Structure 1
């Protein structure tokens, strides 16, 4: 039976990606939805993109764009190094491209260019890296950067008073637009949690792989999930991303 599996922020941790897909027993019948931030942090960012390019040849894959992916795409396109990006994982990503030829880099650039701002499936479930601010939904979002940067959607879902019912005028209209919403971007470690978190109909799958956490793969039907080892244990001689 095919599944829809959502994978959180990878941040250059190829070993964790391979491990978590193996633990989830992912097959070619499964749809794999990646929530973005493939790069920046651990030492194998370029190798993660190589792996994903090969994976999409055999699996149905949907790749959402994260804020770190935007930075990397801009660098591959222009060669200009953003100072903020460099300090937040960009250096490790640049280093990972040291032995990647020009032709391969062009393929990676195409990969980033083809990533999606968000995806809505057949069951009206939304998959987006960060969030959106428009009460009319991401299609009406005024600032495209919110797709990969917004945290207000998650903050609203997480702090909602559960006594407020969906038919109340007080219920946030953004949360009524989709049956479920899956996000990354905000590590659950910020809340001292190392597993996926749920607020209203929003699920946060970023379990801190960029830092001291693990990479998560989540079955949206059963809500079962699998995790890699901590990234620090997989890359013991590295520090990961700076906060």
Structure 2
């Protein structure tokens, strides 16, 4: 069995399909999606529907991202539009739902509501959208919204990378709990990188799909990764989220 992690998608169905075609998923494989399925490009509702159908054929885990929380809240009450969400991709997501029935939107809402905030596998590898702050690990995190919003874990890993070993007294205690940690949320393109980044035992596979980057899928055992084209090339008549 192979395990793949797929980074932020942000409404880029064309990019997701490119990545899945390269991965050549087998029936026995597991695919862990790292969150932020919506907000950015024009096919957010279509991405959600595709993932729902895809999960009927393959073993999938869908981590919830902060944009998914926003979309979930809107689907729960379509008359209540979060202004911040609207300006950060929500407008495009709302437009992508035009033509979807009340029942279809209800099924999408259920899909979002059932998403876990993190996943810990049998090899002690942690998957979550953003990060956590508790030195005792995710199970002791008081503010669970940090699972899809925190950036300090990645920032800390970047600073600590290769400076000290795991057995050092100063090694961050929250990182010691897990063999590896996989995240999205903070685009590697923020650091001038178009590929996944690794710092200490943290792997960041958000390669900027919301903006001018790509969707990435990684085999977490071999660390081989596969990428889509840049999203603006796949959606040439759209702006995406400018940054």
Relative to the length of structure 2, the TM-score reads 0.98
Q: How big is the alpha-carbon RMSD for the aligned residues of Structure 1 and Structure 2?
A: 0.8
**2:179 maps to what in 1?**
179
**Does 1:129 pair with 2:129?**
yes
Encode CA deviations 1:203-234: one digit per residue, 9 max, x unaligned.
Answer: 00000011110100000000000000111010
For residue 26 of structure 1, report the CA deviation from its aligned partner: 1.5
**1:144 maps to what in 2?**
144
- How far apart are the structure 1 equivalents of 2:96 and 2:161? 45
For residue 27 of structure 1, report the CA deviation from its aligned partner: 2.1
Q: Is the 8 A contact 1:64 1:119 kept in 2?
A: yes
Q: Is the 8 A contact 2:135 2:173 kept in 1?
A: yes
**2:195 maps to what in 1?**
195
Structure 1: 4+ residue segments shifted above 2 A: none
Unaligned runs of 5+ residues in structure 2 are none
**1:162 maps to what in 2?**
162
Q: What is the aligned residue count?
A: 242
Q: Is the 8 A contact 1:88 1:242 kept in 2?
A: no
For residue 144 of structure 1, report the CA deviation from its aligned partner: 1.0
Q: Is the 8 A contact 1:180 1:202 kept in 2?
A: yes
**Does 1:17 pair with 2:16?**
yes
- How far apart are the structure 1 equivalents of 2:161 and 2:200? 10
More deviation in 153-162 or 131-140?
153-162
Relative to the length of structure 1, the TM-score reads 0.98
**2:61 maps to what in 1?**
62
Gap change, CA 1:161 and 1:147, over 3 Å in 2: closer
Unaligned runs of 5+ residues in structure 1 are none
For residue 28 of structure 1, report the CA deviation from its aligned partner: 2.0
**1:231 maps to what in 2?**
231
